[in-house]
Amino acid sequence: MKVILKETVPNLGTVGDVVTVRDGYARNYLIPKGLAALADPRNVKAIEHQRRALEKKRLREIAKAEELAKALDGQRLVFRRKASDQQHLFGSVTTIDIERALQEKGFSITRKQVLLDQPLKSVGEFPVGIKLHGGVRTQVVAVVEAEAAEA
């Protein structure tokens, strides 16, 4: 039986693929769970239309992400933290701090988009990756400075 996949099914195919499966698998599992539809000409046209619409939407989102990447590229985020004499911070700069700093500058970035292996725990300049939609990535610079000693 030929079916059109409505969702990605592991070891079978991705959304919009027309695949041949056993009748029982299609009738008893794929179709009742909404994972597939019978591959008749009407359904094939509907899925093709949805695929084209999704592709256009994906291209618009990638264009927005590239525009945001250009605006973010090279932004400097300055963090002032208490530090020891050896320039080690008593706290750290985390993805949450970077998210807040970017949001204060008007960028809508979540902490899950910030690529930081470990929190920053020393004074200096550090490149921080930002993952936007799809494969679009950019970098900002996190500058960690020691707070001035109180007199």
Residues 108-142: tens digit of each pLDDT = 999 999 999 999 999 999 999 999 887 889 999 99
pTM (whole model) above 0.85 = no
User: Whole-angstrom Cα distance, residue 24 to residue 102?
Assistant: 53
CATH number at 2-63: 3.40.5.10
Architecture per CATH, 69-146: Roll (3.10)
Give the residue with greater pLDDT, 151 vs 16.
16
Domain with CATH 3.40.5.10 in the chain: 2-63
pLDDT at 151: 42
Residues 71-110: tens digit of each pLDDT = 998 899 999 999 988 889 888 999 999 999 999 999 999 9
pLDDT at 66: 92
Domain with CATH 3.10.430.100 in the chain: 69-146
pLDDT at 150: 54
Residues 7-62: tens digit of each pLDDT = 888 899 888 888 999 999 999 999 999 999 998 888 888 888 888 888 899 899 89
Interior angle at CA 55, CA 54 and CA 56, nearest 5: 90
